[in-house]
Amino acid sequence: MTAAVPTPALQEELATVEPATITGRARKRLTSRWASLAALVIAVLWTLPTFGLLLTSFRPENDIRTSGWWNWFSDPQLTLDNYDEVLYGGTSLSTYFINSIIITIPSVIIPVSIACLASYAFAWMRFPFRDTLFVAVFALQIVPLQVALIPLLRIYVDADLNGTFWPLWISHTIFALPLAIFLLHNFMREVPAELMEAARVDGAGHVTIFTRIMVPLVTPAIAAFAIFQFLWVWNDLLVAITMATGAQDIQPLTARLAELSGSRGSTWHLLSAGAFVSIVIPVIVFVFLQRYFVRGLLAGSVKG
């Protein structure tokens, strides 16, 4: 079968059509007022509980106990006492906030660094049992992390690492590596082989190719996974309470919030303020790295 050839009249008509006109027509067909209205309604319904929680965190304790947050519009009263109590009072979330930062940053840098090296090796280096090892790494994703918590904890206790940040760093690295290697490997395989061959012809070795060619090309993918890993570690509770084993000086913010919720569940003025203290850093990270996040999600969707 041969492809249909446009008639001369059709070719002349297509030549006179502006590209912007074609784009405008496509956009008009793909969007509508009803779709925009539905998206707006969903966004409002999704954001409303968060707005209510934010407003509650600034309301006086007595108002929180006696009325809902929507009553603020008829009796607007705001205070910073809740945040003062959470950060500097008996709750003292500031220490746990710092602990979360100390736990999260190495738990992102270590697995991402190891995954980049391993992904490049699986994608562009030849060694015995390469495919078998890659399948084994990929298969580790199906192992529930709950199964490995207690055996890992016993290893940490025997190695005298209990009570330090090392169990948290190592555990988060172990649980993140299978998915990180799998994702970054797929992105690195999308790099054209001709580019790699040209670099080898110019005398570049694996170290030079990795640092000067591969890492710059897959930076959006690395940044996207780093953001995911940051959010997973920052919001983690299960690994934190298991590996910290009651040592308050290494517990993250989520562990303290869970304890506060369990022992003082009626103190909504502290829980709401503590919740927004815990999301400050993730929001900042996402806002400043949003463009890398979107580029990382779209990387590899269009081949050049």
Pick from 20, 44, 79: which residue ends a domain? 79
d(CA 105, CA 247): 20
d(CA 191, CA 184): 11
pLDDT winner (highest mean) among 67-81, 164-178, 243-257, 281-295: 164-178
Domain-embedded: residue 87: no
> Both 67 and 116 in a single domain?
no
Question: In the prediction, which pLDDT does 116 show?
Answer: 94
Instruction: Decide which of 22 and 131 is more confident.
Output: 131
What is the mean pLDDT of the segment spanning 213-218?
88
Reported as a single tens digit per residue, the pLDDT across 114-150 is 999 999 999 888 889 888 999 898 888 888 888 888 8
Question: In the prediction, which pLDDT does 219 show?
Answer: 87
Secondary-structure breakdown of the chain: helix, strand, coil percentages, each rounded to the nearest 5: 80, 0, 20
Whether pLDDT at 17 is above 70: no
> Both 98 and 59 in a single domain?
no
Chain mean position to CA 82: 29
Whether pLDDT at 297 is above 90: no
pTM value is 0.76
Question: In the prediction, which pLDDT does 10 show?
Answer: 47
DSSP secondary structure of 159-176: TT-TTSSHHHHHHHHHHH
C-beta of residue 79 within 8 angstroms of C-beta of residue 269: no
DSSP secondary structure of 195-239: HHHHHHHTT--HHHHIIIIIHHHTHHHHHHHHHHHHHHHHT--HH
Question: In the prediction, which pLDDT does 249 show?
Answer: 82
Q: Output DSSP code: residue 6.
A: P
> Both 189 and 276 in a single domain?
yes
pLDDT winner (highest mean) among 159-163, 164-168, 249-253: 164-168
3-state secondary structure 85-104: HHHHCCCCHHHHHHHHHHHH
d(CA 196, CA 188): 11
Which residues 6+ apart lie within 8 Å of 54 measured at CB?
272, 276
Whether pLDDT at 304 is above 60: no
> Both 287 and 255 in a single domain?
yes
Question: In the prediction, which pLDDT does 109 show?
Answer: 95
Counted domains in the chain: 2
Domain-embedded: residue 98: yes
d(CA 80, CA 61): 11
> Both 240 and 135 in a single domain?
yes
> Both 240 and 152 in a single domain?
yes
Domain-embedded: residue 12: no
Which residues 6+ apart lie within 8 Å of 245 measured at CB?
153, 162, 163
> Both 60 and 106 in a single domain?
no
pLDDT band at 172 (very low <50, low <70, confident <90, very high): very high
Task: State both tokens at 283.
Answer: 């929001």
> Both 75 and 173 in a single domain?
no
Q: Output DSSP code: residue 265.
A: T
> Both 110 and 67 in a single domain?
no
Domain-embedded: residue 156: yes
C-beta of residue 105 within 8 angstroms of C-beta of residue 174: no
What is the mean pLDDT of the segment spanning 267-277?
78
What residue has token string 């793909």?
30
d(CA 122, CA 200): 18
> Domain residues for 152?
93-302
> Both 190 and 227 in a single domain?
yes
